[in-house]
Structure 1
């Protein structure tokens, strides 16, 4: 499908739906992205689940408190037409029944921990081993499957709270987490993460949105231009676990400092790291000076996404395991390379690498980090 025709067709379909809905009810039930609020109303483990909408007049972000997931993200392209730039589902049933991390808050520990084991003060803890014998994203029942307590404090801000009890998924300490989504007037989505504990534990929170800035999930992200302010990355073995020291990216296919398409990197079939990751699925070590540390530009829509974070790393993933079997919004099936992820975080397996930035959180301390996704068009 032509990338220019897709938003036009979707806009017509959404407009027709809104007109029909408006004739039947005085209260709007359909979002700008075409989501029906009633398709997200349910009860899971005795807790209410709903769909929440943030708006600043130019953009719309829809979030469900099941997993704290960003369900849709409507961004204006160069012509002012709104395009949904994230993958996901258009009903809560699919989020429950289809295993995936679309748009979710990830915790307690985003990314992988080797064999699910780590030590704090000589005490060894064992976590679920749900990915190649390792713990990935906190295990099978991480925060992406939790029902968060939601409070919408304004049209543009949503506060999500979660209590993770001591011993949940093997993690020590009672952990209380607060994540605030704020859509600002300058077309940025701020994600503010806070957490406290009553016992030494490890924390590494992130958001797992799948972006396709063309707004058309039938188009691949191979031609999107990515810039990463990172001078090194973390090599992995075939089970995605770090294998040693950080590696400088100069002279490698992983050098995105001046901007390159994803196709340019994935075309290097001689690179062992690309074979190990089935593409790019690596943590980049950020040269963080407070400015944008990553940008993605889609030349067809003109949409540019810039990311600012205080985290030391970012996991860059090129949709390697999307295989066309997952049915998403509007009935589209998500193919390989139909989206990319840029997850701001600490490094994978950091608890087992004392030389890397620590993910340890102690009582009387606060975990606090912020990531900002900003959008423009050119």
Structure 2
């Protein structure tokens, strides 16, 4: 009888110990709908803390953002069957964003797109900027905003506010520029990007977002069968260094005409048309017919695979459309997808390229006492 009681006591002690150990076990880390873990984005970069911010709306749509480079990391939206698909390229950890040269999802600044020979003149002074693209300055140079850590505040589950002080002389640009980017996931399944900036010395500003979209939900696929519409009668041609020539030309009768929805790949390889040869496909600015009216659609992209359509709205005069011509299969991103040539499309709303050197084009200049504002809306719908 004593032995039985001892056995019962021993089993009870083991059971209690087991429960105690279970209580001590750390709970499994939650992952986002896109399969990301916050811990994989929590680090110190350039002496500043980075993290992953999760935005959710009433429809169950999810967008994640990292304050490293002000980047959109994932966008989970429903397809025609109601299944959530991640429709942007990126990485599943901060190390890859830092160590692999890329601008996936990034906030681009201080000047998006190209500046000829890296030269600008501001208030009568010529500035030489770092040259990082065929002798020109692209996207703010090799250490643009995409490489900087923004301060981040998440006031609610649908918004994140990113701020950054670009100091006078950073990347060669004049003026201390205070930048604010508010990213909001709305209940009509749109990402509303609102940019603001102020300076203490005259400077140039042209901010945009560089998300790479693949609406099929599988970034191993090309976007060549996606239907693209650009609400523009004109575009700005480029030379063989991708620099605008200063001309504005009509799209009519050329492979640049996307006024009606047309497959991205329908004419992309017509290299007898110099502009496609010069751009190695599409990497051009279109002059929007919307004339700053954000209520009008500037562009759309539609995937026949998922039925997902992206609508782009902006108060900017132009949109740079880039068809991933330089993705070359050497980079592997989320879900093990290999990012190959033309596996994504970018729609960067902005001033025209090299506007500081083209006085007849919309002005990118910002003076003390003025406020720069720019807005872009990426709205996702389903077309059956």
Instruction: Please give the TM-score of this superposition, normalised by the length of structure 1.
Output: 0.92
CA contact (8 A) 1:115 1:133 kept: yes
Contact 1:104 1:208 in 2 (8 A): yes
Please report how far the alpha carbon of residue 327 of structure 1 lies from its aligned counterpart in structure 2 after TM superposition: 1.2
Kindly provide the CA deviation profile for residues 137-159 of structure 1, in whole angstroms up to 9, marking residues without a partner as x: 00111000000000000000000
- Distance in 1 of aligned mates of 2:243 and 2:47: 37
* 1:230 aligned partner: 232
Equivalent position of 1:309 in the other structure: 314
Q: Is the 8 A contact 1:108 1:143 kept in 2?
A: yes
Correspondence for 1:210:
212
Residue 40 of structure 1: aligned partner? 41
In 2, distance between residues paired with 1:101 and 1:372? 19
Q: What does 1:118-197 align with in structure 2 at a 5 Å threshold?
A: 118-197=120-199
Q: How many residues align?
A: 355
Q: CA-to-partner distance for each residue in 1:171-215, whole Å, 9 max, x for gaps?
A: 000000000000011111100000000000000000000000000
Pairs within 5 Å for 1:216-365: 216-288=218-290, 289=293, 290-365=295-370
1:106: which partner in 2? 108
Residue 13 of structure 1: aligned partner:
none
* Helix, strand or coil at the partner of 2:252: coil
Contact 1:175 1:197 survives alignment (8 Å): yes
SS in 2 for 1:38: helix
SS of the residue corresponding to residue 191 of structure 1 reads: strand
Is the aligned partner of 1:68 residue 2:102?
no
Q: CA deviation at 1:28?
A: 4.9
- Compare 74-83 and 285-294 and name the one that shifted more: 285-294
Larger Rg: 2
4+ residue stretches of structure 1 with deviation over 3 A?
A: 24-28
Match of 1:369 in 2: 374
Contact 1:47 1:147 in 2 (8 A): yes
In 1, the alpha carbon distance for the partners of 2:175 and 2:124 equals: 16
CA contact (8 A) 1:29 1:38 kept: no
Task: Quote the Cα distance in structure 1 between the aligned partners of 2:167 and 2:273.
Answer: 43
- CA-to-aligned-CA distance 1:296-332 (integer Å, 9 cap, x gap): 1101100011010000000000000000001111222
Q: Match of 1:95?
A: 97
CA distance in 2, matches of 1:25, 1:344: 45
Extract unaligned runs of 5+ from structure 2: 1-24
Q: Hey, what's the Cα distance between the residues in 2 that align with 1:48 and 1:119?
A: 35
User: Take 1:86 and 1:159, find their aligned partners in 2: how far apart are those partners?
Assistant: 20
Whole-Å separation in 1 of the counterparts to 2:263 and 2:42: 40
Measure, in 2, the Cα distance between the counterparts of 1:111 and 1:125.
Answer: 17
CA distance in 2, matches of 1:376, 1:244: 36
CA distance in 2, matches of 1:102, 1:25: 33
